[in-house]
Amino acid sequence: MTIQLLPNTHVSPETAYVVDDYPYGFRLRCKIRYWLDISPKHGARLMSQTSNPKVAGLVWNKPKGSTYCKFAGAMYLDENNHVQWTGLHEYVEHEKVAPWIETYGAAVPESIRDRMNMWAKAVTAYAARRSTGQDMATAAAGALVETVSC
């Protein structure tokens, strides 16, 4: 699979990635714009918004948002040049975190990058402690102390 990461600057409707020729129903065409919405409380999510070709001028419809990923998000173009996104959330297995960051980390917006790196350190420390036989509570407490003191 070949992908092209989109710059980490698409973080608002004004800085969105715009596709000029997008289907609107069966016959009409419109514009669509994509950006990552970053929330300090919830994380990152993909937003999309189409223009309304039935109205004169450039009028945008209501934006649509995906589900938040707590620790990071990145947009990319797939092999068909379609906008896709991926996120880093608390349910990602620890052995997939480092490869995810290596693949998509450059496209993660600056405003959430520290959160991504801190969580990656914590989940790695937790997994290392669990592999030595520590129970969940002890491993979690130790990983927290190890991550915060870094």
List pLDDT tens digits, range 104-137: 999 999 999 999 999 999 898 888 888 888 888 8
Of 108, 102, 64, 65, nearest to 86 (Cα)? Answer: 108
> 3 falls in which pLDDT band (50, 70, 90)?
very high
Q: Could you tell me the residue ranges of all domains in the chain?
A: 4-108
* Amino acid 149: pLDDT: 65
The answer to whether 97 touches 124, Cβ cutoff 8 Å, is yes
Question: Which residues, including other chains, have CB under 8 Å from residue 65's CB and lie 6 or more apart?
Answer: 37, 45, 46, 47
Q: Over range 40-58, report the average pLDDT.
A: 96
Mean pLDDT (the chain, rounded): 93
d(CA 50, CA 32): 4
Phi/psi of residue 141, nearest 5 degrees:
-65, -45
List pLDDT tens digits, range 50-69: 999 999 999 999 999 999 99
Q: How large a percentage of the chain has pLDDT more than 70?
A: 98
Residue linked to tokens 């379609």: 82
